[in-house]
């Protein structure tokens, strides 16, 4: 009887592990690189799917002038161009260990330091933005001049609630909170391909990047102004 109980316990543990791995795969395989998924499957305990308050870095990237171009472009051609930009952005974000949270029209939202912890999450986000910006000239060679759009960035680091959000039958792994809102506002303030970061992100990356202080700026919906910096390069 003891051997039977032991076998039943091991079977229950194996079934639970298999179900957990299925949930992890279904949640993350579309948003992160395959290597991250493999690591999570080896140890699903590394991620809390129900919701967790933690520090993250949020990156927003948006195409400049896309709305105007969409008014005078064939929809099928426009969708092809947009998908090419998104494909490039997703590849870079994944290369730096980021999680592609969602596409918002012509924009992309990405998270760093989740689902796997990353001590250098702010630097990863900045490096991803810089790589997209610095390789854009080569990327643009496939398009006629009309579709050679700049990418504007906003990056902020702070606390957020991370986990599955939505209805029981339709969920999305995402982050919610003021940290996300501030990153989005910084991106909306950016123009001509600038990478704008908050002072919170700046403090985490200042030894590795070249910056220019923009000064304190008023952010819509916030009572306090935010000290903002522009990333001008990476130090060797």
Q: pLDDT tens across 1-40, in order?
A: 888 777 777 766 666 666 666 666 666 666 665 666 676 6
Q: Read off the pTM.
A: 0.83
Radius of gyration from C-alpha coordinates of the chain: 20
Give the chain's mean pLDDT. 87
**Quick one: pLDDT at residue 8?**
73
Residue 91 clears pLDDT 70, i.e. is over it: yes
Q: For residue 216, what are the CA distances in angstroms to 158, 197, 219, 227, 228?
A: 18, 12, 9, 4, 6
2-234 has which CATH code? 3.30.70.1230
pLDDT-derived band at 233 (thresholds 50, 70, 90) equals very high
DSSP 71: T
The answer to whether the beta carbons of residues 44 and 67 sit under 8 Å apart is no
DSSP 120: T
């Amino acid at each position: 009887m003891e051997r039977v109980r032991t076998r039943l316990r091991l079977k229950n543990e194996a079934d639970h592990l298999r179900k957990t791995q299925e949930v992890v795969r279904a949640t993350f395989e579309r948003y992160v690189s395959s290597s991250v998924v493999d690591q999570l499957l080896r140890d699903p305990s590394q991620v809390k799917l129900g919701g967790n308050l933690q520090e993250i870095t949020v990156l927003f990237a948006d195409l400049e002038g896309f709305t105007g171009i969409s008014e005078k472009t064939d929809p099928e051609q426009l969708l092809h161009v947009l998908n090419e930009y998104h494909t490039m952005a997703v590849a870079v974000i994944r290369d730096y260990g980021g999680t592609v949270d969602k596409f918002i029209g012509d924009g992309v939202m990405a998270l760093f330091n989740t689902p796997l912890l990353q001590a250098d999450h702010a630097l990863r986000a900045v490096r991803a933005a810089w790589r997209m910006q610095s390789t854009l000239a080569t990327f643009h060679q496939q398009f006629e001049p009309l579709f050679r759009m700049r990418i504007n960035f906003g990056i902020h680091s702070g606390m957020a609630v991370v986990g599955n959000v939505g209805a029981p039958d339709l969920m999305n792994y995402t982050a919610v909170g003021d940290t996300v809102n501030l990153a989005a506002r910084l991106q909306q303030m950016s123009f001509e391909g600038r990478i704008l970061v908050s002072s919170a992100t700046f403090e985490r990356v200042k030894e590795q990047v070249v910056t220019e202080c923009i000064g304190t700026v008023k952010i819509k919906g916030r009572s306090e102004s935010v000290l903002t910096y522009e990333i001008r390069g990476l130090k060797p």
